[in-house]
């Protein structure tokens, strides 16, 4: 018998993910505890399936800033229980919860594994894009010298704070339009992102300048000896001129300066080809470590 209920146990969640995905799953138990111990955590969004009383799989309903948009993460079923329909019951229960909440758009985010992608397709989801996890080992990457005639890259200044939110949002277009909409549109994202560039934000940012104007940016968050890379962003009018390459080199040099052993980015890829950012990251010495598929379904 298969039963599904809400879950509050980060240890159980982490155990299922590790059993299902092994080293493909990079989040630590500490990362998941930060979610389940948050005052905003809703146990009804983390669904646990049991078969004959034993843990069998899970799915997490992740809310977005736009109240009628949600994402489904962490659909996972222990391999020895494949074929029992556990994945279908988990998706059905998640969709039932989402319908009750008035969800309009639901996006599924899953490892690029046929078992899970097919499960979502059976429930009316359509693949829309891929997400690649790319990593660098900065000490093993050859980094060329800066070319200041192309752009001057350095840390942000106090006077940049008024312009960076606009540069950030405009540099995401058109590849990340869907992500901008998750935040309620460009103007709202500009308001939200301003705090990310404040010194108190705890993030490291580098900006590219040309003729005194900020034309691109990049950055990362440091945790121990690893960095989460935010990718390279360049204003549309300044693309294909080497600015992205200068930002990439500067980010790798900064990672070396911080003594980072690893730099990781999650970046967009289309279903049938790579987006420009992914090409840049691979050319600079990054390696694809994992691939995800995003699928969408409109519930209205």
Closest CA to 178 of 294, 51, 52, 48: 294
Q: What is the percent of the chain where pLDDT is above 70?
A: 100
pLDDT interval class at 137 (50, 70, 90): very high
Q: What is the pLDDT of residue 197?
A: 94
Q: Tell me: the pLDDT tens digits for 154-190?
A: 999 999 999 999 999 999 999 999 999 999 999 999 9
In the block, tokens 């980015």 appear at 265
**Strand order across the beta sheet in which 152-155 lies:** 2-6, 46-51, 54-63, 69-77, 105-111, 287-298, 126-136, 262-269, 226-234, 213-223, 204-210, 152-155
Instruction: Report how far residue 70's alpha carbon sits from residue 174's, in angstroms, rounded to the nearest whole number.
Output: 21
pTM: 0.95
Per-residue pLDDT, averaged over 279-286, amounts to 98
Please report the domains of the chain, with CATH numbers, ordered by start residue.
Answer: 2-124 (3.40.630.30), 135-298 (3.40.630.30)
Instruction: Report how far residue 129's alpha carbon sits from residue 132's, in angstroms, rounded to the nearest whole number.
Output: 10
Instruction: Report how far residue 114's alpha carbon sits from residue 272's, in angstroms, rounded to the nearest whole number.
Output: 16
Q: What is the pLDDT of residue 65?
A: 85
- Looking at residue 119, the DSSP 8-state letter turns out to be H
Per-residue pLDDT, averaged over 252-269, amounts to 97
Asked if pLDDT for residue 199 goes beyond 90, the answer is no
Instruction: Report how far residue 278's alpha carbon sits from residue 26's, in angstroms, rounded to the nearest whole number.
Output: 20
């Amino acid at each position: 018998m298969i039963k599904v209920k809400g879950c509050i146990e980060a240890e159980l969640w982490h155990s299922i993910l590790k059993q299902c995905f092994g080293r493909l799953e990079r989040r630590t138990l500490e990362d998941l505890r930060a979610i389940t111990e948050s005052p905003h955590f809703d146990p009804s969004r983390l669904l646990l399936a049991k078969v004959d009383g034993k843990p069998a799989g899970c799915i997490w309903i992740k809310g977005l800033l736009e109240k009628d948009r949600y994402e489904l993460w962490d659909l996972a079923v222990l391999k020895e229980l494949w074929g029992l329909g556990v994945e279908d019951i988990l998706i059905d229960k998640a969709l039932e919860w989402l319908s009750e909440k008035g969800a309009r758009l639901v996006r599924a985010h899953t490892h690029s594994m046929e078992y899970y992608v097919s499960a979502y397709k059976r429930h009316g989801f359509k693949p829309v894009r891929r997400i690649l996890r790319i990593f660098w080992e900065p000490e093993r990457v050859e980094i060329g010298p800066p070319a200041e005639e192309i752009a001057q890259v350095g840390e942000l200044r106090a006077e940049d704070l008024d312009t960076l939110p606009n540069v950030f949002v405009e540099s995401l277009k058109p590849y990340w339009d869907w992500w901008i909409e998750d935040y309620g549109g460009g103007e709202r994202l500009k308001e939200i992102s301003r705090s990310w560039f404040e010194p108190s934000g705890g993030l490291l940012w580098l900006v590219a300048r040309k003729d005194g104007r900020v034309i691109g940016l990049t950055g990362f968050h440091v945790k121990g000896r690893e960095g989460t890379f935010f990718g390279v962003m360049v204003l549309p009018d300044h693309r294909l001129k080497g600015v992205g390459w200068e930002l990439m080199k500067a980010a790798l040099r900064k990672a070396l300066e911080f003594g980072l052993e690893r730099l990781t980015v999650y970046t967009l890829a289309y279903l049938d080809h790579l987006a420009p950012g992914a090409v840049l990251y691979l050319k600079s010495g990054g390696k694809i470590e994992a691939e995800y598929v995003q699928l969408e379904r409109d519930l209205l």
